[in-house]
Structure 1
């Protein structure tokens, strides 16, 4: 069995944390949702949106870290249905955001039940993105190749913490802008977010016929 130096686990955790941070940071559909919900309902709404994605990242991280090849093949076999679900869900979200009224004041916050729905929704949306599956398989294969076989949990924890850290930073940062946005600006943000989410949904569905 491979001998593990005392510094190996902290180093692996740090590498995994940076990996989770780098995967979460690019602004895509989850980032747009987190920004829009933070502006409409406060920091907790944006953080809840991001945490759903962070949990999904951890799930894919666990699959890659533990090398569950059968499950990987099964998920890739569902690529068509996952893409249909993800694209359709993005179009539905775009419609909901475009037709909702902007929050009237900065004191409006999402209730606990809605926060849980935000977590669940972005968890499913992130899981349904085939690009996420493939990127995690490649990145974790590279990282796991230099890691001891007894440390997958360290990699999973690092990815989860790195991804969650990004969403915390984003929700806090956007939250500072919330008080400066009146209803007119919030409406403009909602419409812009809806347009971009709709475009991403159409692009994801369009990949199925290319």
Structure 2
């Protein structure tokens, strides 16, 4: 059987072919481990996360899931492939429909994939959201509370890989620690691999098993 890994192999990507933000970069996320991805603003960290999340097609290179090359991105990727990768973005207010309650936001991937939505309460409890908070809409909660809901949504389909793109930028230290703790517990229970993108070297030093810097030799 092919190895159970998520791999970016010689990825060149960006939004202008003449000036890619990431060139010939490789990285591997192993099950049960956290890879930290560091680098300055504009170095391509978030672009790589979007490529691995199958949200952005690279100019060159290949994404492999368990050794199998990915051939489609966004809605062209098979649902069975997309749902194995969860994503947590930097700005929760840009990630959630402002018309939805937190309960509805967490239930979105479950409904979209024909799964029972009765798991919402368990997911909310996992990220320490109270039943009362589930009834509120994004403008009625803090950034930290909304990011907790986004984490619950990202874990709803029990992904094999979780990509965290600067997820703590807008959070205080206590909320950051709580969310990292939830992710670690999820890894212990499921064996999921995690990519943690951050400019915070102290956070990555405490959180990640290995840290790769964009522009440095690739990680295997």
Structure showing greater relative contact order (alpha-carbon pairs closer than 8 Å, 6 or more residues apart): 1
Richer in strand (by share): 2
TM-score (norm 1): 0.25
Between Structure 1 and Structure 2, the one with more helix by share is: 1
| Structure-2-length-normalised TM-score | 0.24
Indicate the structure (1 or 2) with the bigger Cα radius of gyration. Answer: 1
